């Protein structure tokens, strides 16, 4: 019998490249919609591997597929997986690393420039206003310090892109040394010294609400906050309060809670936010990697088993 591989959900990706790769490698394939219905059909319960998307994979899922040994994710973050449950069931979890390092770093820099240069003014221009619409006084970036929270692949690439623009680049990461051109500082120093703070941390119990009311109050007055990682790293109510009170100049956000967030989420159209729909990863090149690499990873795992 051919081994069975699952696609747990398809999210925004075309499943056909993964299905074709797995089928050609000798797998049967079933495409599920666990983000809509968490029940695994009987025909899929003999699966040995899965491509994991945005659907939550926890105890209920792993209990339904007792032969499952390997999950290749379509993202670098593993916050959609209960890793303790996976370990209890003997399932190896493989994140997708490096698929969109360049894209996410560039997107973070684009959000910095949009916030710092007040590019939301284009909405007023489109509505008929002109110079009178521009009430945002930009700063000279060479006089500013940019802080990088998280110095992994994406954070390090963002720091490299930011260095020619900013007077100083500082960074904090408890596990990764600072790359060339980045001054390593403590977490508290990062918060208090960053005129622009860009978040590049994975979501975990350690980082959830890492930036809360205390940290946002300690940022320099008029600072900008950029988040292309996970919304839950920042206390959303504290962020809203800092924007409403004008303590923050603005926020550039590629992530919000819910995704898609509630229509009445006040951060969606706040006058001090620039919001994009979690597309920092997106390019034609990265899309191919997201669609194909997890399936290739499963094939490699299967063929290299002891």
Handedness of CA 156, 161, 164, 170 (dihedral sign): negative
Q: What angle do CA 188, 193, 199 make, to 5 degrees?
A: 70
Mean pLDDT of 162-182: 97
Section 289-305 average pLDDT: 96
**pLDDT tens column, 226-280:** 999 999 999 999 999 999 999 999 999 999 998 899 999 999 999 999 999 999 9
**133 band by pLDDT with thresholds 50, 70 and 90:** confident
Average confidence (pLDDT) over 143-159: 98
In the set 59, 123, 259, 300, the catalytic residue is 259
Interaxial angle between packed helices 101-116 and 153-162, expressed in degrees from 0 to 180 and rounded to the nearest 10: 50
259 is catalytic: yes
Q: Spell out the domains of the chain, with CATH numbers in brackets.
A: 4-99+285-303 (3.40.50.720), 101-275 (3.40.50.720)
Model pLDDT, residue 132: 85
**pLDDT confidence of residue 136:** 81
Q: pLDDT > 90: what percent of the chain?
A: 91
User: By the 8 A CB rule, do 255 and 278 touch?
Assistant: yes
Does residue 12 carry a pLDDT above 80?
no
Question: Both tokens of residue 258?
Answer: 């819910």
Question: Which residue in 230, 249, 270, 272 is the catalytic one?
Answer: 230
Summarize the confidence of residues 159-175 as an average pLDDT: 98
278 carries an active-site annotation? yes
270 is catalytic: no
Which pTM value belongs to this model? Answer: 0.90
Q: Distance between CA atoms of 135 and 127, rounded to whole angstroms?
A: 16
Q: Structure tokens of 253?
A: 């956000």
């Amino acid at each position: 019998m051919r081994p069975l591989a699952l696609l747990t959900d398809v999210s925004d990706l075309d499943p056909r490249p993964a299905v074709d790769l797995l089928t050609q490698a000798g797998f049967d394939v079933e495409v599920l919609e666990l983000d809509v219905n968490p029940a695994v059909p009987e025909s899929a319960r003999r699966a040995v591997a899965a491509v994991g998307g945005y659907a939550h994979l926890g105890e209920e899922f792993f209990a339904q597929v007792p032969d499952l040994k390997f999950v290749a994710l379509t993202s670098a973050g593993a916050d959609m997986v209960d890793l303790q449950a996976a370990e209890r069931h003997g399932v190896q979890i493989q994140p997708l690393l490096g698929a969109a390092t360049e894209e996410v770093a560039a997107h973070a820099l684009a959000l910095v420039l949009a916030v710092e240069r007040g590019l939301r003014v284009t909405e007023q221009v489109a509505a008929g206003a002109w110079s009178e619409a521009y009430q945002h006084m930009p700063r000279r970036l060479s006089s500013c310090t940019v802080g990088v929270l998280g110095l992994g692949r994406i954070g390090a690439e963002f720091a490299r892109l930011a260095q020619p623009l900013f007077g100083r680049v500082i960074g904090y990461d408890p596990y990764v040394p600072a790359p060339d051109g980045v001054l390593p500082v403590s977490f508290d120093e990062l918060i208090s010294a960053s005129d622009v703070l860009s978040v590049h941390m994975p979501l975990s119990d350690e980082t959830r609400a890492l930036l809360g009311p205390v940290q946002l109050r300690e940022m320099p007055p008029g600072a900008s906050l950029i988040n292309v990682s996970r919304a839950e790293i920042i206390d959303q109510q504290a962020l809203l309060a800092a924007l409403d009170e004008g303590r923050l100049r603005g926020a550039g956000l590629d992530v919000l809670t819910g995704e898609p967030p509630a229509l009445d989420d006040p951060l969606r159209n706040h006058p001090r936010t620039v919001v994009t729909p979690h597309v920092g990863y997106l390019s034609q090149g990265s899309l191919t990697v997201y669609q194909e690499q997890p399936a290739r990873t499963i094939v490699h795992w299967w063929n290299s088993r002891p």
